[in-house]
């Protein structure tokens, strides 16, 4: 397979892990045909622009912030939720840019993050066994036979929700909401009174002073688009390959293939098998790509990912997203960083401090402790520094809502609070305050002065 010709469907010759057991393959085929006839969600030129920006990250000149839901929801879907999520990501980016002193490439886990891999294909509750929840593109999280039966029509709904989300994100980022003169307003709408809020307020004052200074010395701030709009890209795990194939289109400018469901696609920890269908699909599309890398990955496996997904060794093509767990990140990451560095592969190394730190609280809620999230980020920076590799980015699960899903933080969420606002349909997310706190810590680790 290694050397045979790639087509958008060549993955079908190989074993594909984590695919739902669709009850009616004919129905699935009809839906995939329908999706193939719908317009692309993103354009090849945009994916190329992101690849270029990520090239700057690979070269140590910028930082990647990739963030959003573990799984987007068909039901918890509203303009306010999208706005609040975007706002917390923009606030984190402002902190990292201003306090960390680096340009930040902003990528959402948004507008398409609807397919989930699961550790077990089934779930048993009180003696009843049903298919696991696999994301709203497949089934529903409620525990009934009807809800858990995979339904291909959901793929069409996922496509339309992605389009509507992307439309609003484009409007917010280009239409005034992301204007730097609003850094203050974002905070007032948020929690100006909290510790993170006050820290952020101070930083917003600094930005205002800098803008006033620029105007005073004659810089035309009105016409400088960087001050008024933001580039924001979309990403999701490329899990449901039939859906991805249906949205894979040939770019009329370059004649190359692009996955047009999002700007960046990543392969998950459970499907990054070097000889599997997911890598076969991804190697042929020209989008920037990501691969999760967990604690069992060997240097040879990681070099295999680099060779397979980025044989031309182009900076920006491949982001390796380490999700090791706080207790072992330094020990397991260092040999991988060294191997990739010594082989001369120009990757972005990003830290996902969420997926290696998940556990079940006594109340039964799946959670993560904020201290462990911070500890993994700090360990990631230590490992990168020790190997002289640029710590290129953060990949986190968050929401703009004041949820109580992850424990700890500066206004701590305690065990007993988990039940108060536990709203995720999959993994526990940082709330807005925990997210902002994380951005301040990361900005200090990048080398900015503490705020
Ligand atoms: C995820 O990012 O939600 C996820 C499932 O991650 P991983 O593949 O690293 O377990
Ligand atoms: Co997750």
Provide the 8-state DSSP code for 298.
Answer: -
What mean pLDDT comes out for the span 365-387?
97
With beta carbons less than 8 A apart as the criterion, state whether 67 and 434 touch. Answer: no
Closest to 289 measured CA to CA, from 12, 19, 14, 50: 50
Tell me what pLDDT residue 352 has.
Answer: 98
What mean pLDDT is reported for the chain? 94
Tell the residue nearest (CA) to atom 3 of ligand 1.
70
The pLDDT confidence band at residue 449, using thresholds 50, 70 and 90, is very low
220-268 pLDDT tens trace: 888 888 888 999 999 999 999 999 999 999 999 999 999 999 999 999 9
End-to-end CA distance of the chain: 53
The pLDDT confidence band at residue 201, using thresholds 50, 70 and 90, is confident
Tell me what pLDDT residue 182 has.
Answer: 83
Tell me what pLDDT residue 451 has.
Answer: 42
CA dist 444 and 313 (Å) reads 31
392-436 pLDDT tens trace: 999 999 999 999 999 999 889 999 999 999 999 999 999 999 999
Three-class HEC string of 135-179 = CCCCCCCCCCHHHHCCCCHHHHHHHHHHHHHHHHHHHHHHCCCCC
With beta carbons less than 8 A apart as the criterion, state whether 238 and 263 touch. Answer: no
For residue 373, pLDDT over 90 is answered with yes
- Determine the atom of ligand 1 nearest the C-alpha atom of 292: 9
Tell the residue nearest (CA) to atom 10 of ligand 1.
269
CA dist 290 and 295 (Å) reads 16
Q: What is the CA radius of gyration of the chain?
A: 21
Closest to 168 measured CA to CA, from 265, 78, 46: 78
Q: Which of 2-16, 142-156, 413-427 has the lowest mean pLDDT?
A: 2-16
DSSP one-letter string for 166-232: HHHHHHHHHSSTT-GGGHHHHHHTS-TTSHHHHHHHHHHHHHHHHHHHHHHTT--GGG-GGGT---E
| Distance from the Cα of residue 122 to its chain's centroid | 26
Cα dihedral angle (289, 294, 300, 305), rounded to 10 degrees?
-10
Tell me what pLDDT residue 200 has.
Answer: 85
Beta bridge partners of 249: 258
| Cα 239–Cα 69–Cα 154 angle in degrees, nearest 5 | 50
Provide the 8-state DSSP code for 38.
Answer: S
For residue 160, pLDDT over 50 is answered with yes
CA of 8 to the centre of ligand 2 (A): 27
324-341 pLDDT tens trace: 999 999 999 999 999 999
**Number of the ligand closest to the Cα of 425:** 2
29-57 pLDDT tens trace: 999 999 999 999 999 999 999 999 999 99
With beta carbons less than 8 A apart as the criterion, state whether 207 and 98 touch. Answer: yes
CA dist 225 and 112 (Å) reads 28
For residue 288, pLDDT over 80 is answered with yes
The pLDDT confidence band at residue 192, using thresholds 50, 70 and 90, is low
Tell me what pLDDT residue 450 has.
Answer: 44
What mean pLDDT comes out for the span 162-167?
98
With beta carbons less than 8 A apart as the criterion, state whether 248 and 262 touch. Answer: no
Q: What is the CATH number of domain 3-178+229-448?
A: 3.20.20.70
| pTM of the predicted protein model | 0.97
Q: What does the domain layout of the chain look like in residue ranges?
A: 3-178+229-448
Tell the residue nearest (CA) to atom 9 of ligand 1.
269
Q: Report the share of the chain in percent with pLDDT over 90.
A: 86
Tell me what pLDDT residue 190 has.
Answer: 62
If you search the block for the tokens 């909401």, which residue do you land on?
Answer: 177
CA of 376 to the centre of ligand 1 (A): 16
CA dist 114 and 198 (Å) reads 35
CA dist 66 and 15 (Å) reads 29
Tell me what pLDDT residue 189 has.
Answer: 59
The pLDDT confidence band at residue 199, using thresholds 50, 70 and 90, is confident
CA of 213 to the centre of ligand 1 (A): 44
What mean pLDDT comes out for the span 273-297?
98
- Determine the atom of ligand 1 nearest the C-alpha atom of 294: 9
CA dist 347 and 149 (Å) reads 39
What mean pLDDT comes out for the span 63-84?
97
- Determine the atom of ligand 1 nearest the C-alpha atom of 426: 3
CA of 269 to the centre of ligand 1 (A): 6
């Amino acid at each position: 397979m290694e050397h045979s010709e790639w087509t958008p469907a060549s993955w079908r010759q190989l074993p594909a892990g984590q695919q739902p057991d669709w009850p009616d393959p004919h129905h699935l085929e009809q839906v995939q045909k329908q999706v193939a006839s719908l317009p692309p969600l993103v354009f090849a030129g945009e994916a190329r622009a992101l690849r270029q920006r990520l090239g700057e990250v690979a070269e140590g000149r910028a930082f990647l912030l990739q963030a959003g839901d573990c799984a987007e929801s068909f039901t918890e879907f509203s303009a306010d939720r999208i706005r609040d999520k975007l706002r917390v990501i923009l606030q984190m980016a402002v902190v990292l840019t201003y306090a960390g002193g680096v340009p930040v490439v902003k990528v959402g886990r948004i507008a398409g993050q609807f397919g989930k891999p699961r550790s077990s294909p089934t779930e048993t509750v009180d003696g009843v066994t049903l298919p696991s929840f696999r994301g709203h593109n497949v089934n529903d999280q409620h525990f009934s036979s009807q809800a858990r039966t995979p339904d291909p029509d959901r793929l069409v709904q996922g496509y339309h929700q992605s389009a509507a989300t992307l439309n609003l994100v484009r409007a917010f980022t280009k239409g005034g909401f992301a204007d730097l003169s609003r850094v203050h307003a974002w905070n007032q709408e948020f929690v100006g009174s909290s510790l993170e809020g006050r820290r952020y307020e101070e930083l917003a004052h600094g930005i205002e002073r800098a803008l006033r200074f620029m105007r005073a010395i004659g810089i035309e701030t009105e016409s400088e688009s960087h001050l008024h709009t933001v580039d924001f890209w979309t990403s999701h795990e490329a899990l449901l390959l039939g859906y991805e194939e249906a949205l894979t289109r040939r770019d009329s400018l370059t004649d190359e293939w692009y996955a047009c469901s999002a700007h960046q696609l990543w392969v998950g920890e459970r499907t990054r098998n070097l000889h599997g269908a997911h890598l076969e699909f991804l190697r042929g599309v020209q989008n920037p790509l990501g691969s999760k890398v967990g604690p069992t990955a060997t240097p040879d496996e990681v070099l295999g990912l680099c060779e397979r997904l980025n044989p031309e060794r182009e900076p920006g093509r491949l982001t390796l997203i380490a999700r090791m767990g706080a207790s072992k990140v330094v020990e397991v990451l260092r040999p991988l960083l060294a191997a990739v560095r010594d082989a001369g592969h120009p990757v972005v190394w990003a830290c996902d401090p969420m997926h290696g730190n998940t556990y079940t609280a006594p109340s039964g809620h799946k959670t993560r402790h904020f201290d462990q999230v911070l500890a993994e980020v700090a360990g990631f920076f230590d490992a990168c520094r020790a190997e002289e590799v640029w710590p290129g980015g953060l990949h986190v699960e968050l929401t703009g809502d004041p949820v109580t899903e992850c424990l700890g933080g500066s206004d701590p969420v305690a065990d007993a609070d988990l039940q108060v606002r536990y709203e995720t349909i999959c993994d526990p997310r940082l709330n807005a305050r925990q997210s902002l706190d994380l951005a301040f810590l990361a900005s200090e680790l990048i080398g900015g002065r503490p705020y």
